[in-house]
Structures are given as C-alpha cells and as structure tokens.
Amino acid sequence: MSTQPDIMMGLDVSRLDEFTEEERDAHLLSALRFRGPLYQLWLNEITADYANPEWLKLHARAVRHCDPGGLKPPESQPDLLIWSVHNLPSYMLIGWETGIRNEFFALWRHGLPLAQTMEIVMFAQSYAGMRGLGHVYRAVGDFLPVYKEQGRIPTEWPEGWAPDPAAFRSGLDLSTPDMSAQDKKNLEGWYEKNLGYVPKSIQFGIKHHPEFVKVNRGKWESAITTLPKQVAPYIMIKLNAQTFNVEGLREATLLAKSWGIKKKYIRQLLAGVVCYFAGFEGYHAPAAAIDDILDSMD
C-alpha cells in the first residue's frame, strides 16, 4: 500500500529514506514564500546540503509541534503571530540581530502596528537590558522611521486574547517615590489575586529596596497597554523557560492560567525552547516548576 506524501517545507516527511533533487529545490524555495529576510534561505541551504536526509526530515516533523511557520497552508494565523511575539524577546535576550529583524518583519506581515511591536520590545527590556535595546537598534533602526503600519494579512489573536491595561495595575501611587503601607498592601494583593501567593522575589525586594520595586513595577504595569494582556505572561514563560528559572516560570504560568491562556499554547512554546534553545534539558525547569499547573489546565 502506498503512503500518501506528507509535504512540509517542500519535503516529503513521510519518506525518511530518500531525498530527491526536487525536494531539495522545493525546500530552498519554501524559504522565500514570505519574501522576508533571507536568513531562512541560508538555514535551509545549510541543512539541505549538509545534514543527512533523515535528520532533516525529522527536524521538519518536530517543527510542527512548536513552530507554526513550518506548517503547510492553511496555517493558523494566531499561532504564527504569537510565535513571533515570544521569539522577538528571546532574540533580544541572546543578541541575535538577524532573528530580531526577521521577527519585526513577521509581526509587520501580520498587521501589527509599530507601536504594538515596540510594546513587546519595551516589556522585554526588563529581561534583555539596554544591551537588548541596542540589538534592536542595530537590527531594525534603519527602517523604523519609515515603518509602514499596514501588513499583508489581518492581525488575528488567539480566542479570548484582548487588551486589558487595568489588569496590570496593582494600585501603586506612582505620584510619589516611596513605598507606602497602602502601596505594599495593594501590590501584595495583586499577586494574591492573580497567582495565589506573593513571590519571594517581591517579598525580598519590598524588604530591602522598596523604592526600586515600586518604580520597576510601575514600568512593568505601563509597558503593555494596547496589546492583549496575555502577551505579558506568554513572553514571561518563554524567557523564564529559556533561562531555566524555575520560580519565574511558575509565576508566569500561573499568571497565564489566571489570564486565560490555553494549555496548548504553553506546550507549543515549551517545545520551541527545547527544539531551538536548550535541547531536552530545557524540560527540566518546566518539570520542576509547572507540571502540576499544566495537569490542572484544560
């Protein structure tokens, strides 16, 4: 009985034992379909010319579980969009300017206005620092002044994802620099409501440097105002998983659950960390941090 071809990125991934010249050419051409930065073409050329065919096709199969960009049409537009939403901060963190430029293009292609893309950048600055902003400038600073607002396809977020700037607000009085007793109560109350406990990091910061905690939390609360609120915990999950931060990953996942992010998006994101950033060792932190949380999610 013949096996139906399963074509992905120009490759018949149902046949691991063969790799035709037609597949090689189709694989290279698949990198040009979005007419964006050419780095994907370079990567496809490296793997098509030098990887063994079995590895190449198994990699293509693995990509289906984490990178929606590798799916054959019709692709899930929300999945593609949020893939770039969490990858942009990752590339800021590691300083990969080619990737930053590519994700700016991908977000533009999905119709995201520049102001919303820059909300992602400013939110990620807390993790990537000024070095991360420098990488953004070197990657895309030349075309930011002429960035067009209209992308190629309408922006489509996952079901239930919506802006809610008030959800970030803990009730801090930002008109004064000092952390008052009411500020402390309000901030702790925000964590109790959204996570179910006050993280030790916040307890430590309030105890030893409350003024900094107040102003830095203010930055966090004001970074995302027009994007869906779910963007924040989704980015936090990615960066904490990428850096193997067990406590941070648990906090981010609890916030994601509280704000309605579906389990499938967390699974997809973690698979991306394992596939592209950390190997199977990338599952150690999630195993320690969020196994019980994922079990409790639909």
CA dist., res. 34 & res. 39, Å (int): 12
In this structure, the answer to whether residues 205 and 116 fall within a common structural domain is no
Residue type at position 126: S
Show the domain range for 221: 165-295
User: Residue 275 maps to which CATH number?
Assistant: 1.20.1290.10
> Environment class of residue 183 by beta-carbon count within 10 Å: exposed (0-12), middle (13-18) or buried (19+)?
buried
Q: What is the DSSP letter of 295?
A: H
Which phi and psi (to 5°) does residue 163 adopt? -65, 145
Q: What are the structure tokens assigned to 179, written together?
A: 């952390």
Q: Are residues 134 and 175 in the same domain?
A: no
Structural domain ending residue among the three candidates 63, 87, 106: 63
Total length of the chain: 298
Domain count for the chain, please give it.
3
pTM of the model: 0.87
Q: What is the pLDDT of residues 181-204, one digit of tens each?
A: 999 999 999 999 999 999 999 999
Helices (H), 195-245: 200-208, 210-223, 231-242
Tokens of 76: 């899930």
How confident is the model over 19-51, as pLDDT tens digits? 888 888 888 787 777 677 777 777 778 777 778
| 125-141: average pLDDT | 95
Count CB-CB contacts under 10 A for residue 65. 15
Q: What is the pLDDT, as a whole number, of residue 96? A: 95
